[in-house]
Structure 1
Amino acid sequence: MGTMTTVTPLTNDPDIDDLKWDLRQRLKLLECTLLLNGWVRTQALTETFGISRAQASKDFAVYQTLAPGNLVYNRSRKYYEPGEHFAARLLSGRTSELLDVLGALPGADRPVVALAAAGPNVELLRPLERELDLDILRAVSAAASNGHRLRVDYQSMRRPEPRPIELSPHTLVFSGFRWHLRAFSHEHEEYRDFVLARMANAESLPDRPGAPRDADGDWFEEVVLRVGVHPELPAAQQAVIAADYGMVDGERRVSVRRALLPYLLRLMQIEPEREHPDPLIQQICLLNPEVAHRKGWD
């Protein structure tokens, strides 16, 4: 079975509380990379934050002081692996926390942190936090990153009891509400989506090669959604909604992987089978509903 990953609360921890903000972010990325990949090198810090190799080595030393035994150096592969009794020190398992870490990585579409001294008041609403089991996340991520299989006890909503299944995972997906795993199910002999919260007792199978990611046709097929204003709204209201969504000639086109189509439809509340009859509530709708069909859900 997979090794146990525990979470040590960060509250009232003088060592972590005393860390400078920038160092804390680097160590959080270090720990997140260790969980997601199953290994980490100093390049994770040098390439992401633009620091020197010497500074990265110091960061690793600080992390080892904060979390003795969490890092074990693999001399043959020249990287660090989680220790047998790995316990997360900077991550708590909250969904938003992982999203914040992933969102902080460099990229063309990443958010910019504003450092202005003053600005408007801002309030953000978020749905109820979904907790992540870091044991499951670690095992799943290692299998996906390294191309091997995974065995989990999975509680499908179609069965009364959980059952063991063998998966070849390839991508973690956040649907806007919760985390899913895109994986080949060796029981069903097809690619499906599996909810992380319904998994238990994850066991890595490093000696069993996983199914190839490029065989997942629905993952690589792109579907174009045509989203438009509800036709029964008055003309003035249609114009407002169209401007709100940046529509051109009454519609907005969105490209999405076919495998992720159901989640985007639900997130935008335009699932054809769930549309509300009142146009004041159902202000936008799917103009090409023929593209919406469900496949590979469990």
Structure 2
Amino acid sequence: MAYIDFCLLFKGAIYRQDLIGRFEVGLSAGSRDFSLYKVLAPNNLTYDARDKRYFQTDTFVPLFEHDPRRTLVKLANDISDGFDAIGDIHFPVESASSLNVPDIYVVAKLVQAIVSNKAVSVIYTSLSSGSGARELVPHSIVDNGQRWHVRAFDRKTGSFRDFVLTRISKVTLKADPALSEQSLADEAWQRKIALEVVPHPKNINHPTAIELDYGMEEGVLQLEVRAAMAGYLLRRWNVDCTKHASLRTGEYQLWLRNQETLENTDNLAIAPGYISEEKRYE
């Protein structure tokens, strides 16, 4: 029941074969499960005989409570079991509290748009211009280490941008399919850049400890990241991106030794201390 509920909420539809394949049950057992779900939530789904698929209705209300944090992690790892809705086993492991929890229904509509390759109308509140309507074509939901955002083509500016999920207050799925605004056209998303991260040469007296922390080989952590994500990663890890390792406070335990790899990459204002060669000589 939780799996059916999860698929309807986040994909907008589910095939009977999805259920049969997921739980390795027979056709008759799968049919009984859908019948039971319809008894429990009669207004949540409708069957399209032509598509042979169950679709979410306009009056859909989740039968189960899907935890936003767990759901985002599952979506990020392509897990769609809905298991947290019926109770997970709890282990004595804690993580830092999250101050930023997106609305699960906003996430659901965005995921539906991504899965079906559709555009959405949203109300978005930005720091620079306040609240306003935008048309977006989303292609990925991303955890940048501090908060969740959606990577999307913004029809207002004609460019691919990041939109913080908690600043989206309303999402409406549009009927027209997206054409040239898909992820393959997002140059910064498709392009990978190589980062060489090392223990900070001026702030760390015992670099072996840092090498162990990050699993470095021969004193270097080699990373390949999307250009669109590089700034977030460097900020999250407090990597000193100055040319001569000049950030001297204690939180900077790492240094990017191949700073030149960041040239021609956007969204680096958040990379600690980074100044492009072009800006350096202005």
Name the TM-score class by shorter chain: 0.7 to 0.9
Q: Which runs of 5+ in 1 are unaligned?
A: 1-26, 107-114, 116-120
Shift of 1:249: 1.6
Q: Is residue 95–residue 130 contact of structure 1 (8 Å, CA) maintained in 2?
A: no
Instruction: Give % identity.
Output: 27
Instruction: Compute the displacement of 1:270 (Å).
Output: 2.0
The yes-or-no answer on 1:212 pairing with 2:182 is yes
The 5 A counterparts of 1:36-75 are 36-75=10-49
AA aligned to 1:171 is S
Question: In structure 2, which of residues 203, 213, 221 is the aligned counterpart of residue 252 of structure 1?
Answer: 221
Q: Deviations over 1:117-157 (max 9, x none)?
A: xxxx8431232253332332232222221122111111111
> Which residue of structure 2 aligns with residue 291 of structure 1?
261
Which of 202, 211, 225 is matched with 1:242 structurally?
A: 211
The structure showing larger relative contact order (alpha-carbon pairs under 8 Å, at least 6 residues apart) is 1
The aligned length equals 255
Contact 2:119 2:173 in 1 (8 A): yes
Per the alignment, residue 3 of structure 2 pairs with: 29
Mapping of 1:223-234 within 5 angstroms?
A: 223-233=193-203
Alignment CA distance shift 1:101-1:143 (3 Å): closer
Q: TM-score, normalised by structure 2?
A: 0.78
CA 1:48–1:276: 2 relative to 1, 3 Å:
farther
Q: Which SS does the other structure have where 1:88 is aligned?
A: coil
Q: CA deviation at 1:258?
A: 1.2
Question: What is the one-letter code of the residue matched to 2:15?
Answer: R
Cα pair 1:139 1:203 within 8 Å, conserved? yes
Within the candidate set 90, 93, 116, 1:146 is matched to 116
Is there any run of 5+ residues in structure 2 with no aligned partner, and where?
A: 81-88, 270-282
Matched-pair contact (CA < 8 Å) for 2:44–2:56: yes
Which whole-Å CA distance do the structure 1 matches of 2:225 and 2:23 have between them?
Answer: 31
Report the Cα distance in structure 2 between the residues aligned to 1:83 and 1:233, rounded to whole angstroms.
58
Task: Show the 5 A alignment for 1:114-263.
Answer: 122-128=92-98, 130-159=100-129, 161-210=130-179, 211-233=181-203, 237-263=206-232
Secondary structure of the 2:208 match is helix
For residues 169-213 of structure 1, give each alpha carbon's deviation from its aligned partner in whole angstroms, at most 9, with x where no partner exists: 111222233321111111111111111111122222112534233
Q: How much is the aligned-residue C-alpha RMSD, in angstroms?
A: 2.9
Q: Distance in 2 between matches of 1:251 and 1:48?
A: 42
SS of the residue aligned with 2:14? coil
Q: What SS does the corresponding residue of 2:126 show, helix, strand or coil?
A: coil
**Match of 2:280?**
none
**Match status 1:76 vs 2:50:** yes
The verdict on how the C-alpha distance between 1:182 and 1:78 changes in structure 2, with shifts beyond 3 A counting, is: same
Q: Which amino acid in the other structure matches residue 266 of structure 2?
A: R
Q: 1:250: Cα distance to partner?
A: 0.9
Give every structure 1 segment of 4 or more consecutive aligned residues whose post-TM-superposition deviation is greater than 6 Å.
Answer: none
1:277 aligns with 2:251: no
TM-score (norm 1): 0.74
